[in-house]
């Protein structure tokens, strides 16, 4: 295995399925949905190249939870439930990272997500490496279309993502963008806490003022991502991500092209 990413709750690795063959799906209805999607794409000649390669060569990404305390387990279960709610309700093949199944690490007992591997990394890494050669119509608008479709699907499932930022968007071999990390997703009207989570420049000002996350706060995060695609820069790159920046954002400060 090779580590390819790390977050507050888990570490992500590149891995190869040694045994090959299909993994157990989370639910049979997800399996039926995928069978329909893949049958449709094979018949129409549009089977996604990266999905095909992953299945043939048994490449995958696995996210191992750092521990099994109550907060981590709650996030794990919420991510699983949010994924199931989205993928079984809507046609999300092109905009959501596929979850092949769940498992448990044998020595430490840590829970694992087994997921589709996206070979171009997250959006922040992708822009840093490729921004100078990206074209608006062929590349940037394609990414924005993918993200708007994915976010629309999440909202139509009556969920708020609450943690949309460049590190939670993965870019595939085909340059399609995929939303990931649904661990903070929740129903808009069932939020128990008004505390803010996430990466500061992507958090809406009203959330920093201790209002609840809403569909609109997700759209604010999407707007910051649009700014990144336009400029190729990180928002507020010359600032410390601290309480002083929070105050400035609440006063209306916006990122500027340096």
- Which tens digit of pLDDT belongs to each residue from 179-200? 888 766 776 666 665 666 778 9
pLDDT tens figures, 32-86:
444 444 444 444 444 455 555 554 456 788 888 777 666 767 777 777 777 777 7
Question: Which residue is listed with tokens 């000002």?
Answer: 205
**Is the pLDDT higher at 92 or at 60?**
60
Instruction: State the catalytic residue, choosing from 48, 163, 181, 218.
Output: 163
Is 48 tagged catalytic?
no
Query: What's CA 143's distance to the chain center, in Å?
Result: 13
Domain ranges of the chain: 2-115, 123-250
Instruction: Evaluate whether 102 touches 112 at the Cβ level (below 8 Å).
Output: yes
Q: What is the pLDDT of residue 186?
A: 74
Neighbour-count burial for 141-175, b at 16+ CB within 10 Å, e otherwise: ebbbebbebbbebbbebebbbbbbbbbbbbbbeeb
Report the candidate in 86, 85, 82 with the shortest Cα–Cα distance to residue 74.
82
Homologous superfamily (CATH) for 2-115: Phosphorylase Kinase; domain 1 (3.30.200.20)
Percent of the chain whose pLDDT exceeds 70: 71
H helix or E strand, kind and range, residue 12: strand 10-16
Task: Return the CA Rg of the chain.
Answer: 18
Percent of the chain whose pLDDT exceeds 90: 33
pLDDT tens figures, 126-145:
999 999 999 998 999 999 99
How confident is the prediction for the chain on average, in pLDDT? 78
Homologous superfamily (CATH) for 123-250: Transferase(Phosphotransferase) domain 1 (1.10.510.10)
- Virtual torsion, Cα 139, 158, 203, 131, nearest 10 deg: -10
Instruction: Show the beta-strand stretches assigned E in 70-196.
Output: 99-104, 111-115, 159-160, 169-171, 177-179, 186-187
Q: What is the pLDDT of residue 29?
A: 41
**What value does the mean pLDDT take over residues 6-21?**
70
Can you tell me the distance from the alpha carbon of 167 to that of 105, in angstroms, rounded to the nearest whole number?
25
Q: What is the pLDDT of residue 18?
A: 64
pLDDT at 217 > cutoff 90? yes
């Amino acid at each position: 295995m090779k580590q390819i990413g790390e977050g507050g709750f888990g570490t992500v690795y590149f891995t190869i399925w040694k045994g090959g063959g299909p993994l157990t799906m989370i639910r049979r209805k997800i399996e039926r949905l995928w069978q329909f999607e893949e049958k449709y794409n094979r018949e129409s000649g549009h089977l996604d190249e990266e999905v095909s390669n992953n299945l043939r060569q048994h490449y995958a990404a696995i996210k191992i939870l750092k521990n099994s305390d109550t907060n981590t387990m709650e996030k794990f279960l919420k991510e699983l439930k949010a994924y199931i709610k989205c993928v079984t309700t809507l046609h999300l093949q092109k905009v959501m990272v596929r979850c092949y199944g769940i498992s448990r690490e044998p020595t430490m007992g840590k829970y694992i997500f087994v997921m589709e591997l996206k070979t171009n990394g997250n959006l922040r890494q992708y822009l840093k490496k490729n921004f100078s050669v990206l074209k608006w119509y062929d590349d940037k608008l394609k990414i924005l279309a993918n993200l708007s479709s994915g976010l629309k699907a999440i909202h139509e499932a009556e969920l708020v993502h609450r943690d949309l930022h460049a590190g939670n968007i993965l870019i595939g071999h085909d340059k399609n963008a995929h939303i990931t990390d649904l661990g903070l997703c929740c129903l808009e009207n069932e939020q128990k806490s008004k505390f803010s989570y996430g990466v500061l420049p992507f958090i809406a000002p009203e959330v920093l003022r201790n209002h609840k996350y809403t569909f609109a706060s997700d759209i604010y995060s999407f707007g910051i991502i649009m700014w990144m695609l336009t400029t190729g820069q990180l928002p507020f790159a010359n600032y410390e991500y601290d309480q002083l920046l929070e105050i400035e954002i609440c006063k209306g400060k916006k990122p500027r092209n340096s």
